[in-house]
Chain A
Amino acid sequence: MADTVQEFVFNLTFPFTRTLGSTLSTFSSALVQGQIIGVRTGGRVIAPPLEYDPDTAADSGTDWVRVGPKGTVSTWTWVPEPTNLHPLDHAFGFAFITLDGADTPMLHLVDTGSESAMAAGMRVEAKFKAPTDRVGRIDDIIAFVPATDPSPSEGAGEPFVAPEENDITEMDAFCDLQYVDNASPTTIMWAKALMEGRIIGQKCPQCDRTIVGPRGMCSVCAIELDESHIFEVPGRGVVSNFTIVTPTPYPGQTETEPFARCSILLDGADAVIAQQEILDVPVSEIRVGIHVEVVWAPENERSAADIDNRSRGSGGDIIVGWRTTGEPDEPAARYLDRMM
């Protein structure tokens, strides 16, 4: 089937901002200045600091301690081929590094150039980004590198006096994950029919309901449905429900004005198709009961590229939308007791 997609790539990317709270704000504000700190709690120094003592759940308090910039590797590993999420683009080590002045290790990168240089007990020191590039995040430290002088860090273990107000109270982060899903037999069936200008559902042999678009199962009887249960429905139906979305700006949002998304119950179907657009009715006049018919994209402009397993019942770029037929509105009794 050349004209439907067999596999589709989905990039889950979004930025977000985390508030840090007082403990992490203190850590981040010191980090920007090139100072790593820990917190003394329960008789030991935890670095980087946590808001609570992991043993007792007690508040860790504000007994800040200067730690590092040198430390000692306890356990380590080696990443021969970094992923897009790793901060370095060449092979590097990860290690637990107990910073001078601290009693618990921190996890960070060790940039030695070669796996054979990694060893438990090795002395390393933090290599910071340039001051103007720092944002108060753990990756302000580019990596740890072998210490040129293994002697103890100067000032480590001494108290750190936090400013009255922290400079940094938030942290920007970015999610960047890629998925590659493959079209299920049901999705291929649906997309193929749409490309041919047909809308299909599946009729359950047990309860006689027709489900549009096909979902490969009857969600009332919980039985499998396949190609033998295909049931063609006309491209005509009734708006059975709707919502008006008032767009707020967020990354990826392209809409600026309120728009309606409608559920449509096609003639002869028992399940609605959702998230449909009515082309010729102003948002303020959208209502339940309007008779509509499908508007197909011209055959040479149809594409099933956007029809994936996640968009069940979506018309992708094959169905442009729906337009009113001009018939009188349907009474509510016609579209009660239907399925999503």
Chain B
Amino acid sequence: MAPSENDIAIVGFAQLPPERRTNLTESDLVLRSTREVIAQVGIDKSEIGFTVSGSCDYLSGQGFSFVQNTDAYGMVPAINESHVEMDGAWAMYEAYVRLLQGDIDIAMAVGVGKNSNSDPSTLFTVEFDPYYLTPLGTDTWSLAALQARALIDSGKATERDFAEVVVRNRANAKSNPFAQVKGDYSVDELLAADYVRNPLRRHDLPPTTDQAAAVILARGKRAYDLCERPAWITGIDHRIEAHLPTVRKDITTSVSTRIAAEAAGVGKGPIDVAEIHAPFSFQELILRESLGLDASTEVNPSGGALAAHSVMTVGLIRVGEAANQIIKNGKNRTLAHTTSGPCLQQNLVCVLEGDQ
């Protein structure tokens, strides 16, 4: 494909090794991931026209941490910079939109999350509806479990199906040098564990991960200066459902994912590889169906979000992994998905294509 000046591609991706507990700060992680991706594409940082990060003060427990994190960009002279209190995948989306304005050629998006400082069983309580959910201590595990139970009761899946998702992702993760949880497990062995939140066991829950990742995007022909085979973003869409899961008509499906997938043009051709952000094992089953993927698509060869789950980074890593399938692995058409909010409330779908 001969790119027009409005075509935007991922041309570089770097992620740090995921850690259960790093002794570095978020700023340190941002510095190391951005330096790596800048070196990878072989530019000077002064060539970056726009820099945007995704992170969350509530995770690290530091007010205005995103301001301190900008130290890592080297902002003298001043740079054009932005931040989203969302996963780095949404930072990437902002960078994409910024490039469409046509006045700059290169942008960098970063995701960073030092998740180990906080307790995932309590932290996300402050994310939910403050009137009807937060006063009850409603936690993210319980909300996911309510969705999982509904899925089982609908007859669409069983606990064994959940465990099979885990077994496959952990096995896939063995060949991913950036996986925190990997290995060979049997379904029966997993099903022998106690529930953390019935019907979910520890293996159905995301791991806690400290990590950062960064991508570089380029516009039009400039992409070829930075990358031999750019991963062109041919479709991208973000949809949001009601915040309160109880008012959604059916939590065993993901309407927002289906609409985002349609808008991003997922069905216009075969998808070789899909990197799906399913924080909880069973959500991969819901998302596969809502994305409209069939058996010909390879799902999460990296091990997905069950292999490493740094909130604020995990979605951008899905984008980077899907892009690398084109940049490094010769695939033609891949998909990246990320989610946010209770019970798959928000979903972003991105379709990437290589030159053929």
Contacts and interface: CB of A to CB of B under 8 A. Distances in A.
Interface of A: 10, 12, 18, 20, 24, 46, 48, 50, 54, 74-80, 82-87, 94-96, 104-109, 115, 118, 120, 137-139, 171, 173, 175, 177-186, 215-224, 309-310, 312, 339
Interface string B57-90: 0101110000010011111100000000000000
Given A179-B61, A184-B25, A50 B247 contact: yes
Contact of B117 (A107, A118, A179): A179
A181 B117 contact: yes
B150 interface: yes
Contacts of A12: 61
B136 A108 contact: yes
Contact of B27 (A78, A118, A217): A217
Nearest to A211: B71
B146 A177 contact: no
Contacts of B195: 78, 80, 115
A139 B45 CA distance: 52
B72 A217 contact: yes
Contacts of A137: 135
B31 A54 contact: no
Interface in B131-153: 131-139, 142, 145-150, 153
Contacts of B146: 75-77, 94-96, 107
A175 B126 contact: yes
Given A108-B136, A177-B122, A224-B31, 8 more contacts: A83-B121, A87-B137, A96-B246, A139-B136, A217-B27, A222-B31, A222-B45, A224-B32
Nearest to B243: A54
Interface in B161-195: 194-195
B29 to A, nearest CB: 10
A95 B150 CA distance: 11
Contacts of B61: 10, 12, 177, 179, 181, 310
Contacts of B135: 87, 137-139, 173
Nearest to A218: B74
Minimum-distance CB pairs A-B, first 8: A222-B74, A179-B61, A77-B145, A85-B137, A219-B71, A86-B137, A54-B242, A75-B150
Contacts, number: 169
A108 B137 CA distance: 10
A182 to B, nearest CB: 5
Given A18-B131, A78-B197, A54 B247 contact: yes
Given A86-B136, A177-B61, A181-B117, A171 B34 contact: no
A181 B134 CA distance: 24
Contacts of B139: 79, 83, 85-86
Nearest to B126: A175
A229 B118 CA distance: 32
Contacts of A138: 131-132, 135-136
Contacts of A215: 27, 71
A54 B244 contact: yes
A310 B67 CA distance: 12
15 contacts: A10-B61, A20-B131, A24-B131, A79-B142, A80-B195, A80-B196, A118-B198, A177-B122, A179-B61, A184-B24, A185-B24, A220-B76, A222-B34, A222-B72, A309-B25
Interface in B1-51: 21, 23-25, 27-28, 31-32, 34-35, 45
Given A75-B150, A77-B198, A173 B136 contact: no
Contacts of B340: none
Interface in B200-254: 200, 242, 244-248, 251
B130 interface: yes
Nearest to A139: B135
A50 B242 CA distance: 11
A337 B251 CA distance: 56
A312 B68 CA distance: 10
A72 to B, nearest CB: 13
A267 to B, nearest CB: 22
B136 A75 contact: no
Contact of A77 (B34, B75, B149, B242): B149
B136 A120 contact: no
Query: Which of A10, A84, A309, A312 is most buried by chain B, counting CB atoms within 10 A of its CB?
Result: A309
Contacts of B68: 312
B241 to A, nearest CB: 8
A97 B139 CA distance: 17
A16 B245 CA distance: 25
A139 B34 CA distance: 46
Contacts of A120: 149, 153
Contacts of B130: 18, 173
B119 interface: yes
Contacts of A105: 246
A309 B246 contact: no
Contact of B21 (A77, A94, A182): A182
B123 interface: yes
B45 A107 contact: no
B158 interface: no
B347 to A, nearest CB: 17
Contacts of B31: 216-217, 222, 224
B125 interface: yes
Given A139-B135, A177-B123, A179-B118, A77 B197 contact: yes
A221 B74 contact: yes
Nearest to B150: A75
Contact of A185 (B23, B121, B131): B23
Contacts of A221: 74
Contacts of A80: 194-196
A120 B198 CA distance: 13
Contacts of B23: 182-185
Nearest to B134: A173
Contacts of B35: 222-224
